[in-house]
Amino acid sequence: MKKVFLMFFFFTALFFQAGAFSHNVEKGESLSMIVLNYTGTIEHVSFVARHNGIKRPDTIHAGQTIKIPLSLFCPASAYSVPEGFDAGYYKERGLAAVKEKNLYKAYGYLFKGYQKEPTAKSLKNVFLALYRLGRYESLLALHGKENEKSGESLMLAAFSAFALGKEEEGEAFLREAREKFPGFSQAEAALKYLEGTDGRQP
């Protein structure tokens, strides 16, 4: 069990090399705004401030990096979006929300856009938003309904399964990724780590 969770956190960091849980502060942003966007509440502002060594939460500056602990990514509800628009509208608003670092809003719009016009690319964006929001059950449920898989979606499904303690299911997703996408090195590395064939110790 310990080895599986070490692998889960190690390869989550490897897979999201750009720092999915690090936020670069932009002009005009406050710490409370950033924490609200990522966690859905401002209750964690003091905790995030301490986690980042910030003594005065009201003094963050543009260019500063704020790290949001993975444990805080557990929202209870989805962002509500307006009805009656075409897929392009939802995609545009969703990608704009990604740039704003508002993951709740991004997920709401991207998922609505995917429902309007299902494509592999839009599905990948939905999977990424679900994973980053900690919606592991929702990700696995959606993954199970889709026929078009990719190496990235299988890795995200594997990570979600591990996060939920479903080790056998997680390993099965990794094996599927290795078999269907031989050049997808992350799946091969993760399996070697789990099997203890790369020299690592549990």
Percent of the chain with pLDDT over 70: 75
pLDDT at position 69: 76
User: Model confidence over 49-94: pLDDT tens digits?
Assistant: 998 999 998 889 988 988 877 666 544 445 667 888 888 888 888 8
Q: How far is CA 47 from CA 19, 39, 55, 60, 69, in A?
A: 20, 12, 11, 15, 9
Report the CATH superfamily, name and number, of domain 22-72: LysM domain (3.10.350.10)
Check whether 14 has a pLDDT greater than 90.
Answer: no
CA Rg, the chain, in Å? 18
Q: What is the average pLDDT value for the chain, to the nearest integer? A: 75
Top pLDDT among 44 and 152 is at 44
The answer on pLDDT for 34 being more than 60 is yes
The pLDDT of residue 8: 52
Taking the model in full, what pTM does it have? 0.51
Rounded Cα distance between 48 and 58, Å, is 12
Q: What is the pLDDT of residue 16?
A: 47
Euclidean distance between CA atoms 193 and 199, whole angstroms: 8
For residues 9 and 178, which has the higher predicted lDDT (pLDDT)? 178
Q: What is the pLDDT of residue 18?
A: 38
pLDDT score of 49 = 93
CATH number of the 87-195 domain = 1.25.40.10
Angle (CA) 69 72 76, round 5°? 160
Cα–Cα distances (Å) from 28 to 40, 43, 116, in that order, read 19, 21, 34
- What percentage of residues in the chain have a pLDDT greater than 90? 6
The Cα 44–Cα 59 span in angstroms is 17
Indicate the domain borders of the chain. Answer: 22-72, 87-195
For residues 52 and 55, what is the distance between their CA atoms, to the nearest angstrom? 9
Q: Could you tell me which residue, 50 or 111, shows the higher pLDDT?
A: 50
